């Protein structure tokens, strides 16, 4: 006697309906907008100034710092560099390049000689190159370092995208801006142990699932957007332990704005150990599972 398959069919239909009910709902036009935003974000990661090609971070000591691929150097570059590229001299907050006369280091496709380098805290940062390698001076707190890029970094080929939470319009929340007059001084920690002073012009307050939350972004009210480094209860689980980034619109004439957590994205430290990412301030670590935006990538669980 053949057993009926109806119970199994009914169970399958029930599970399908439950699954459909649990899926976040979003307008197709909005889904397309978020997907387009994310695709552009991924494309930026792959550019020459993106985060996937970082190949080194070297802190300079006061005085002479030789650099090149030979292990005798203070700063040991990848093997594709010449053994001895030259010397970087840090003196009283200025970094001078003294290139090896036997190699050709370029800036804007022109060979360089002895010169003072402009760091990344200033306009017209000096970017030098040798073959596929690009490097420049960064300043973090009182320390100066060299950030190195490799335009043929293997990660550019290995990178296959970033997993995200399902797009859910319930994570577009209306927030009220409470202006600080005068602006409040805040100190933003980073992964190097520095605390960077900034001005905060106010806080956003929003409601989610019947509870109120408060966040303090950075950025002036005269711009188009403000910047937030935030943490939440998904960190170290489905998202990066050091929090995520989000741009917020400046408030309108009613001191309101729509915050869209579907655009929350990973900091550079997720992709490279050579980044110097800011971390969320305590006030911006929310006791809330923000299941929107980018999830963790690779093995970046710290």
Q: What DSSP element (H or E) covers 6?
A: helix 6-22
- Taking the CA atoms of the chain, what radius of gyration do you get in angstroms? 24
Domain boundary among the residues 104, 128, 158 is at: 158
Across the range 20-28, mean pLDDT stands at 63
pLDDT of residue 298: 83
Answer yes or no: do 128 and 184 share one domain: no
Pair 102, 86: CB distance under 8 Å: no
Answer yes or no: do 65 and 175 share one domain: no
Across the range 135-140, mean pLDDT stands at 97
- Structure tokens belonging to residue 213: 């939350």
Domain boundary among the residues 132, 158, 184 is at: 158
DSSP helix/strand/coil, 95: strand
Please indicate, yes or no, if residue 290 is contained in any of the structural domains: no
pLDDT tens digits, 285-302: 999 999 999 999 987 644
Answer yes or no: do 146 and 173 share one domain: no
Pair 159, 179: CB distance under 8 Å: no
Answer yes or no: do 152 and 168 share one domain: no
- Structure tokens belonging to residue 109: 């496709």
Answer yes or no: do 211 and 105 share one domain: no
**141 has pLDDT over 50:** yes
- Model confidence at 12, pLDDT cuts 50, 70, 90, reads very low
Question: Distance (Å, rounded) from C-alpha 96 to C-alpha 86?
Answer: 11
Q: Which residue, among 201, 279, 211, has the nearest Cα to 244 in the 3D structure?
A: 279
Supply the CATH number for residue 72's domain.
2.60.200.20
- Domain range for 267 is 164-284
Question: Distance (Å, rounded) from C-alpha 114 to C-alpha 96?
Answer: 7
Answer yes or no: do 207 and 117 share one domain: no
Answer yes or no: do 128 and 192 share one domain: no
pLDDT tens digits, 206-259: 999 999 999 999 999 999 999 999 999 999 999 999 999 999 999 999 999 999
Answer yes or no: do 209 and 104 share one domain: no
pLDDT of residue 300: 60
Please indicate, yes or no, if residue 186 is contained in any of the structural domains: yes
Across the range 158-175, mean pLDDT stands at 97
Answer yes or no: do 215 and 140 share one domain: no
Answer yes or no: do 191 and 125 share one domain: no
Please report the beta strands in 250-301, taking only residues with DSSP state E, as ranges in sequence order.
256-260
pLDDT tens digits, 48-57: 999 999 999 9
Answer yes or no: do 154 and 172 share one domain: no
Please indicate, yes or no, if residue 15 is contained in any of the structural domains: no
Domain boundary among the residues 158, 180, 214 is at: 158
pLDDT of residue 23: 52
pLDDT of residue 148: 98
Please indicate, yes or no, if residue 9 is contained in any of the structural domains: no
Please indicate, yes or no, if residue 25 is contained in any of the structural domains: no
Please indicate, yes or no, if residue 262 is contained in any of the structural domains: yes
Answer yes or no: do 69 and 152 share one domain: yes
**Which residue shows structure tokens 């550079």?**
268
- Model confidence at 13, pLDDT cuts 50, 70, 90, reads very low
- Model confidence at 22, pLDDT cuts 50, 70, 90, reads very low
Please indicate, yes or no, if residue 33 is contained in any of the structural domains: no
**Which residue shows structure tokens 């992964």?**
191
Query: Residue 65's beta-bridge partner residues?
Result: 88
**Which residue shows structure tokens 């009926």?**
4
Pair 107, 116: CB distance under 8 Å: no
Number of domains in the chain: 2
Please indicate, yes or no, if residue 94 is contained in any of the structural domains: yes
pLDDT tens digits, 71-130: 999 999 999 999 999 999 999 999 999 999 999 999 999 999 999 999 999 999 999 999
- Model confidence at 4, pLDDT cuts 50, 70, 90, reads very low
Across the range 20-31, mean pLDDT stands at 71
């Amino acid at each position: 006697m053949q057993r009926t398959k109806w119970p199994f069919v009914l169970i399958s239909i029930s599970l399908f309906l439950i699954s459909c009910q649990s899926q976040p709902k979003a307008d197709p036009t909005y889904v397309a907008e978020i997907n387009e935003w994310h695709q552009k974000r991924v494309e930026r990661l792959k550019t020459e100034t993106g985060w996937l090609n970082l190949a080194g971070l070297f802190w300079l000591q006061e005085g002479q710092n030789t650099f090149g691929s030979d292990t005798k150097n203070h700063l040991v570059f990848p093997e594709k560099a010449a053994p001895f590229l030259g010397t970087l001299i840090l003196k009283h907050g200025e970094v001078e390049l003294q290139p090896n006369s036997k190699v050709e280091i370029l800036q804007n496709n022109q060979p360089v000689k002895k010169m003072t380098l402009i760091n990344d805290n200033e306009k017209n940062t000096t970017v030098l190159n040798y073959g596929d390698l690009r490097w420049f001076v960064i300043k973090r707190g009182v320390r100066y370092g060299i950030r190195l890029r490799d335009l043929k970094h293997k990660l550019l080929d290995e990178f296959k995208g970033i997993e995200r939470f399902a797009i859910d319009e319930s994570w577009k929340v209306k927030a009220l801006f409470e202006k600080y007059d005068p602006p409040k001084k805040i100190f933003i920690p980073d992964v190097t142990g520095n605390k960077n002073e900034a001005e905060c012009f106010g806080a956003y307050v929003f409601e989610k699932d019947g509870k109120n939350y408060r966040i303090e972004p950075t950025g002036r009210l005269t711009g188009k957007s403000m910047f937030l480094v935030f943490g939440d209860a998904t960190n170290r689980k489905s998202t990066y332990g050091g929090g995520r980034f989000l741009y917020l619109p400046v408030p309108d004439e009613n001191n309101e704005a729509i915050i869209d957590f579907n655009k929350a994205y990973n900091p550079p430290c997720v992709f490279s150990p050579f980044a110097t990412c800011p971390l969320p301030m305590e006030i911006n670590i929310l006791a809330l599972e923000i299941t929107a935006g980018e999830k963790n990538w690779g093995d970046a669980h710290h």
